[in-house]
Structure 1
Amino acid sequence: MDHFDLVDGELHAEQVSLTALAAEVGTPVYIYSTATLTRHYTVLREALDAHPSVLGDSLIAYAVKANSNLSVLATLARLGCGADTVSEGEIRRALKAGIPADRIIFSGVGKTDAELAFALQAGVRQINVESVPELDRLAAIAAGLGVVADIAIRVNPKIGAGGHAKITTGGEGDKFGVPADEALDLYARAAASPHLNPVGLGCHIGSQITDLTPLEGAFGLLRKLTETLRQQGLPVTRIDLGGGLGVPYVGGAVTASPADYAAMTARVLDGLDVEAAFEPGRLLAANAGILLARVIQVTERADGRRFLVLDAAMNDLLRPAMYDAFHEVKPVAPREGEPVAYDIVGPVCETGDTFARGRLLPPIQAGDLVVFTGAGAYGATMSSEYNSRPLVPEVLVDGERWAVVRARPSYDEMLARETTADWL
């Protein structure tokens, strides 16, 4: 399970006991594996490098939104990873973690003027422009700063894909990017501006994609647009292919491996002579992290239903409530006995705070520890203090050593962030 394995009948994160971590840090707590982050990045890098003439110089720009913890970013930065960012805050995180500005891409459909100005002053690699108004605002901001902005035009290929409608981003009705015909006009418009330097095209059609067919269609469209722009005398030197390749949240393997993905991309881009960028998030981080929780109680009803009530809630791991997402749940120290069906819930006061229904698990008792696997992406980054519950802490493990890389705030610290109106 990606460096989360049973050792003497008890789950460990690499060489660290989860039981010991729970005693030291408390629960719930996110735990990330350095070894898994490293392995996932290396597998993708090697898959791309297997096609040196097409993808050898490609940039892996990790999607910071998946897991923005500074120690996670610093771990990837040391491997040579860049960053895909969607806010000034994410740019600042990437820079603080040691990712060079020239390896940072700034994406997003609603960048503010202040964010665009910050990105230009920071010297990011490129800004992915998604609309005519954004292009015009960026040109004006660049003029005011006396700089020339390197940009890519994000294309909406009318090809949507992903594990859920809410994470499908390339469909005709989605808010992202511009249609293909408009992209050509927008590129030419940018080329005519003394303050904009169009360097490429990009797309991102969704997340948790397990079939390469829609990706191949979108990449093929970018190739055709690149060839058309070059025929018009406009240079195109980069292609931003986004992210979205899925991960196995439960058993087995996804349909498409990084090797299959790289081979398809190389085939589509062969001979185009562009520098490709990839923006994986979930692919690198999801299975590098778990959420460790403790059972508060087991509630049994007269109809035979059993509720496994945890100290983790939807505010700690939102994906099941928001996307009906599946996360495998495992006991840290499995007990012997026939599997039992549990509805797994948290303490938040709404029915949406349900992680799973009828999930078969070994017998579990109050006080036992359980983990949610595949929680390294879109877990801690989407957490909140709903119900005035403290933000869940984060721990990074590296072999036998570990460190708290985001502490759980105390109630006093939570309350101190707010002030009372002076008339109260």
Structure 2
Amino acid sequence: MLISQQRLERPTAGVRPFALTALRHPMVSSLLTDHRALLADLLDGLGSPLHIVLPEIFEENVVGLRRAFAEAGATADILFAKKANKADCYVRSAAALGVGIDAASTPELVKALAGGVPGHRIGISGPEKDDTLHTLAVQHGCLVAVDSISELRRLAATARLARRQATVLLRSRTAGQPASRFGMSAAEREAAVGLCVELADAVSLRGFSFHLNGYSTAERATAANEMIEHCLDARRRGSRSAELVDIGGGLPVRYVEPRLWDEFLEQNEPAHYHAAKDFNDFYPYGGQPAAQAVGAIMAHPVDGGESLARKAERTGVRFVVEPGRALLDQAGFTLYRVQQVDDRRDVAGYAIVTVAGSSFSLSEQWFNSDYLPDPLLMSAQPTADETFPACVAGSTCLESDLVTWRKIGFPRPVRRGDHLVYLNTAGYQMDSNESPFHDAALPLKAVVRLGEGTAPPRWRLDGI
């Protein structure tokens, strides 16, 4: 099931100033507490940084998300957003559980198929997809979200050449985000519905999708209601199979306790960061869990009081959802080895800890932000407790290569050879922005499953 907030370990109040202690799944706690030697051996043998991926937790999250939709009275097909993590193990878990994949490129589609996910459970998203992706999607019966009239015409031509019928969603701009670069305007959507009727031998219109920025449940529910109306209109115009509304992803994840998050936002200022870095936007690390967000979306009143879920049931509409981060909640963490410590406390008031690796393996920098949950310090030779303020830098020659800009209050001095653990990094952090800069090899992923009873954990390299 989705990680119950009652099961997660909670940080002790007042541990240290500006602490943002990450919530932990019991399996993660077990690995860090009972199997620290194994993690140290893996890091030493496979290199720093090293990503630990945990498909068992991904599988729990799938079960929990299904339950959340069922309890909300809604029917939904889950497509795991492949872009959130490149690890093959999650695709294999999705295939085993009958979960689909949301792919936005030919390589992502190929990996989904190779991992055992059948084409009819794969959705193809992304703007203005190329002909290669169209061809493969048509051959395997994937559901293609079409972004424009020109793409619709190209896809129909591809389907006719293959003597098949493409199944499509029309991606539409919402009333709330009319300036989005994704999807069709109202006039374009109207024309596209008519074109689907004309091209019925090559195209089957199955419904509508949309793109939203942000995590507002009310805005997502309002947009979904718009798409239900588009389905009803398409049926009246001859597309009888318009029954799907794709609500996208955007289900939030809770990384830290809301109380800590609120306190952090109240006290946050540039002085808390290396070089007085001023960030303008953060992921809502203390937000509501995904299951609660699903309930809020489905219960949202539309058309004067009826819930979104009830309207969908009444009109024969089924939802499609594309969670990435929400299915990866707690399903992985990242290990770094400390390479050097530049103790500037006497001059600057904090140290700079340099790790073997770079911020390319913790991709929040891609969003011009900082990954805020505190890293854990694992010391080979623990020293006496002493608050040790430090930021964390990568080992590249870039001035901007900070893994953590924020000054962390480590509970004791950090030493060369220590290990840092960044928790809950599977969703978008591990590999969205990784690069072989300086000719460095891309970090490896170790797939870990806990053993039965007293058996030790089992591990293998991802993809093998």
Q: Report TM bin, short chain.
A: 0.7 to 0.9
The alpha-carbon deviation at position 238 of structure 1 amounts to 1.2
Structure 1 residues 276 and 5, CA gap change in structure 2 (3 angstroms): closer
1:186 to 171, 189, 192: 192
User: 1: distance between equivalents of 2:87 and 2:292?
Assistant: 28
Higher mean alpha-carbon deviation, 298-307 vs 97-106, is at: 298-307
Query: Aligned Cα RMSD in Å?
Result: 2.3
The alpha-carbon deviation at position 25 of structure 1 amounts to 2.3
Higher mean alpha-carbon deviation, 16-25 vs 27-36, is at: 16-25
Alignment of 1:384 onto 2:432: no
The equivalent residue for 1:414 is: none
User: Which runs of structure 2 are paired with 1:97-176 in the superposition (5 Å)?
Assistant: 97-124=115-142, 126-159=143-176, 171-176=177-182
Alignment of 1:40 onto 2:61: yes
Alignment of 1:202 onto 2:252: no
- Asked if the contact 1:30–1:380 (Cα under 8 Å) also holds between the matched residues in 2, the reply is no
**Number of matched residues?**
388
User: 2: distance between equivalents of 1:12 and 1:36?
Assistant: 18
The alpha-carbon deviation at position 315 of structure 1 amounts to 2.4
The alpha-carbon deviation at position 33 of structure 1 amounts to 1.4
The equivalent residue for 1:239 is: 245
Higher mean alpha-carbon deviation, 275-284 vs 398-407, is at: 398-407
2:327 to 275, 284, 287: 284
- Asked if the contact 1:335–1:362 (Cα under 8 Å) also holds between the matched residues in 2, the reply is no
When normalised by structure 1's length, the TM-score is 0.85
- Asked if the contact 1:327–1:373 (Cα under 8 Å) also holds between the matched residues in 2, the reply is no
2:257 to 241, 248, 251: 251
User: 1: distance between equivalents of 2:28 and 2:79?
Assistant: 29
The equivalent residue for 1:268 is: 308
- Asked if the contact 1:249–1:327 (Cα under 8 Å) also holds between the matched residues in 2, the reply is no
2:92 to 74, 89, 114: 74
User: Which runs of structure 2 are paired with 1:386-401 in the superposition (5 Å)?
Assistant: 386-399=437-450, 400-401=457-458
Q: Deviations for 1:184-231, whole angstroms, at most 9, x for unmatched residues?
A: 321221121121111111123136x2x312212211211222233334
What is the DSSP-based 3-state SS (H/G/I as helix, E as strand, rest coil) of the residue aligned with 1:152?
strand
User: 1: distance between equivalents of 2:34 and 2:122?
Assistant: 30
Structure 1 residues 198 and 341, CA gap change in structure 2 (3 angstroms): same
When normalised by structure 2's length, the TM-score is 0.78
The equivalent residue for 1:332 is: 378
Q: Deviations for 1:97-155, whole angstroms, at most 9, x for unmatched residues?
A: 1111110011110311121011111222x110001110111111111221111111011
Structure 1 residues 232 and 16, CA gap change in structure 2 (3 angstroms): farther
Alignment of 1:374 onto 2:419: no
- Asked if the contact 1:314–1:348 (Cα under 8 Å) also holds between the matched residues in 2, the reply is no
The alpha-carbon deviation at position 336 of structure 1 amounts to 4.8
- Asked if the contact 1:12–1:18 (Cα under 8 Å) also holds between the matched residues in 2, the reply is no
Identity %: 25
The alpha-carbon deviation at position 304 of structure 1 amounts to 3.0
- Asked if the contact 2:61–2:329 (Cα under 8 Å) also holds between the matched residues in 1, the reply is no
The equivalent residue for 1:344 is: 392
Structure 2 unaligned blocks of 5 or more? 1-23, 259-285, 300-306, 451-456
The equivalent residue for 2:42 is: 21
The equivalent residue for 1:220 is: 225
Alignment of 1:360 onto 2:403: no
The equivalent residue for 1:162 is: none
- Asked if the contact 1:65–1:281 (Cα under 8 Å) also holds between the matched residues in 2, the reply is yes
Higher mean alpha-carbon deviation, 246-255 vs 284-293, is at: 246-255
What is the DSSP-based 3-state SS (H/G/I as helix, E as strand, rest coil) of the residue aligned with 2:376?
strand
- Asked if the contact 2:252–2:287 (Cα under 8 Å) also holds between the matched residues in 1, the reply is yes
The alpha-carbon deviation at position 291 of structure 1 amounts to 1.0
Q: Deviations for 1:271-301, whole angstroms, at most 9, x for unmatched residues?
A: 1212211100011114311110011111023
The equivalent residue for 1:83 is: 101
- Asked if the contact 1:19–1:332 (Cα under 8 Å) also holds between the matched residues in 2, the reply is no
Higher mean alpha-carbon deviation, 172-181 vs 278-287, is at: 172-181
User: 2: distance between equivalents of 1:341 and 1:196?
Assistant: 60
User: 2: distance between equivalents of 1:107 and 1:298?
Assistant: 44
Q: Deviations for 1:21-72, whole angstroms, at most 9, x for unmatched residues?
A: 22332321000112311221111011112245x31xx210000010121122
The equivalent residue for 1:63 is: 81
User: 2: distance between equivalents of 1:13 and 1:38?
Assistant: 22
Structure 2: which amino acid aligns with 1:178?
M
The equivalent residue for 1:92 is: 110
The alpha-carbon deviation at position 335 of structure 1 amounts to 5.6
Structure 1: which amino acid aligns with 2:408?
R
Structure 1: which amino acid aligns with 2:460?
A
- Asked if the contact 1:327–1:374 (Cα under 8 Å) also holds between the matched residues in 2, the reply is no
User: 2: distance between equivalents of 1:249 and 1:313?
Assistant: 22
2:52 to 7, 20, 31: 31
The equivalent residue for 2:302 is: none
The alpha-carbon deviation at position 316 of structure 1 amounts to 2.0
Structure 1 unaligned blocks of 5 or more? 160-170, 408-424
What is the DSSP-based 3-state SS (H/G/I as helix, E as strand, rest coil) of the residue aligned with 1:300?
strand
User: 1: distance between equivalents of 2:309 and 2:28?
Assistant: 39
What is the DSSP-based 3-state SS (H/G/I as helix, E as strand, rest coil) of the residue aligned with 2:113?
helix
What is the DSSP-based 3-state SS (H/G/I as helix, E as strand, rest coil) of the residue aligned with 2:354?
strand
User: 2: distance between equivalents of 1:101 and 1:250?
Assistant: 37
Structure 1: which amino acid aligns with 2:406?
R
